[in-house]
Amino acid sequence: MEYINFPKLNIRLSRFGMGCMRFPRIKDSSGKSIIDKPESIRMVHYAVENGVNYFDTAYFYSGSEEILGEALNASLRKKVFIATKSPVRIVKKPEDFDTYLIESLKKLKTEYIDFYLLHGLGSNSWEKVKKFKLLDKMDIAKKEGKIKYIGFSFHDNLELFKEIIDSYSWDMSQIQLNFIGEYYQAGLEGLKYAASKSIGVVIMEPLFGGILGENVQPDIIEKWDSSGIKRTPAEWAFKWIANFKESNVILSGVSNLEQLKEDIEIFNNAFPNSMTEKEKQTIDKVKKLYERMLKVKCTGCSYCMPCPSGVNIPGVFTFYNRAFLGNSESSKLGYKSWFCISKEDASQCNECGQCEKACPQNINIMNNLKIAHEYLTS
Ligand SMILES: NC(=O)c1ccc[n+]([C@@H]2O[C@H](COP(=O)([O-])OP(=O)(O)OC[C@H]3O[C@@H](n4cnc5c(N)ncnc54)[C@H](OP(=O)(O)O)[C@@H]3O)[C@@H](O)[C@H]2O)c1
């Protein structure tokens, strides 16, 4: 595993960080989807044994903090850095900040959190941070030893990203970045901006929530292979982001042990400034193909959930995007036999609009749900 000196903080972090938002899931006896706890714990242990020392979770990732806390017993805890996040979206008054922090500490079974982030900042939540003086709260928590480093994760435009970066002496920031989203949200320019202010950056969604890694279309595989370089699509995507020295830690949520093993192996050999011109040209060609194929820029982060009408919003968009990324008939079949039967399909939407307020990608969810439903049931 490659390690980096995180800007300003004098700590060494593994270049690959385990995203704990996508722990593997199974169905319980009543058919409800739950985190596969033994397998998730096994994966956390495998990651630590193989040099990963950065783990990202959040108050909002239901069940994730508890499982990470259970996996990291007293001796492992000292070897790793935990990042978790304050759920700004549901903070209704300043004191809520303290309540959620105490809850996260309890769930994680730890006396301190290494990186405490304001979760998913965008224009509304940033206003709330200022109105409730949540950065003063962060400072107090740091003085009390409950948290070590202060940061934020971000889902909005570049202009706001720069404003937030310049508003406080942050210890770190977390942005979404992948090779099909160079100009999306904070984007590459945001990455370089934070680095120019010596603020370390953690990258999320390097595989665009999995779309760039799994079930990749033959057209795209062909383009990758035409480079003459033998690599999986996930490896290409990770190497693109690892090539930027400013992307200090790169998170990926792994859904099974095989992916974790592959990702760790990739990050044993992914170094900044190591990509050749030919590799960059291959990536540009693949990017153009993706731009033509993607219908909805949903990354499956599930911030829009739960939907009061029961629509599985990220699931619908996954079927819809996947249909255009190569698997039209099986996507339609999957949608009908899975979501339409369980009444999680897009036709359940009653247009309350709650999802659109929560979506970090600013997707026009309600309209896209209609279009997706029409296509997937055709
Ligand atoms: N703070 C925020 O606002 C925010 C938002 C989103 C995410 N996050 C954090 O950032 C982390 C990273 O984001 P992400 O989970 O979206 O990362 P990602 O790397 O874009 O997507 C992860 C998904 O990629 C697929 N994958 C991983 N390794 C693979 C491999 N070797 N080959 C093929 N497919 C592979 C898996 O999906 P499938 O198996 O399903 O195909 C996995 O669930 C999250 O886990 C979470 O902790 C934070």
Q: How far apart are the C-alpha atoms of 327 and 331, rounded to whole Å?
A: 6
Please give the Cα distance from 150 to 113 (Å, whole number): 10
- Ligand 1 atom index nearest CA of 153: 1
Q: What is the pLDDT of residue 360?
A: 84
Q: Is 213 in the pocket of ligand 1 (CB under 6 A)?
A: yes
- Selection from 127, 176, 246, 138 nearest residue 21 by Cα: 176
What pLDDT does residue 302 have? 74
Q: Which of 228, 237, 223, 244 is nearest to 266 (CA)?
A: 237
CB 300 within 8 A of CB 209: yes
**In whole angstroms, what is the distance from residue 55 CA to residue 53 CA?**
7
Cβ 149 vs Cβ 181: under 8 Å: no
Instruction: Specify the pLDDT at position 30.
Output: 86
Distance CA 349, CA 248 (A): 40
Ligand 1, atom nearest to 210 Cα: 24
10-residue averages of pLDDT along the chain (378 residues): 94 97 89 91 97 96 94 91 95 97 97 97 91 98 98 90 97 95 88 98 92 88 93 96 97 94 94 94 94 82 86 90 77 87 92 93 95 96
Looking at residue 327, what is its pLDDT? Answer: 67
Closest-CA residue to 239 (of 219, 213, 218) = 213
Q: What is the pLDDT of residue 10?
A: 93
Strands (E), 254-335: none
Separation CA 169–CA 152 (nearest Å): 11
Residue identifier of the C-alpha nearest atom 25 of ligand 1: 210
Q: How many helices (H) and strands (E) does the chain have?
A: 17, 12
CA 247 from chain center: how many Å? 14
136 Cα–ligand 1 center, Å? 32
- The verdict on the CB of residue 252 being under 6 Å from ligand 1 is yes
Helix (H, G, I), strand (E, B) or coil at 127: helix
Task: From 127, 157, 57, select the one nearest 361 (Cα to Cα).
Answer: 157
Going along the chain from its start, the domains and CATH numbers come out as: 3-293 (3.20.20.100), 313-376 (no CATH)
Reduced to 3 states (helix: H, G, I; strand: E, B; else coil), residue 33 is: strand
275 by Cβ neighbours in 10 Å (0-12 / 13-18 / 19+) ranks as middle
Ligand 1 pocket, mutate which of 156, 205, 231, 294 (most atoms under 8 A from CB): 205
Find residue 118's DSSP bridge partners.
Answer: 86, 152
Q: What is the dihedral of CA 301, 302, 303, 309, to 10 degrees?
A: 160
**Tens digits of residue pLDDT in 58-98:** 999 989 999 999 999 878 999 999 999 999 989 999 999 99
Please report the pLDDT score of residue 32 as a whole number.
82
Identity of the amino acid at 193: Y
Ligand 1 test: best mutation among 231, 254, 303, most atoms within 8 Å of CB?
Answer: 254
Burial class (CB in 10 A: 0-12, 13-18, 19+), 320: buried
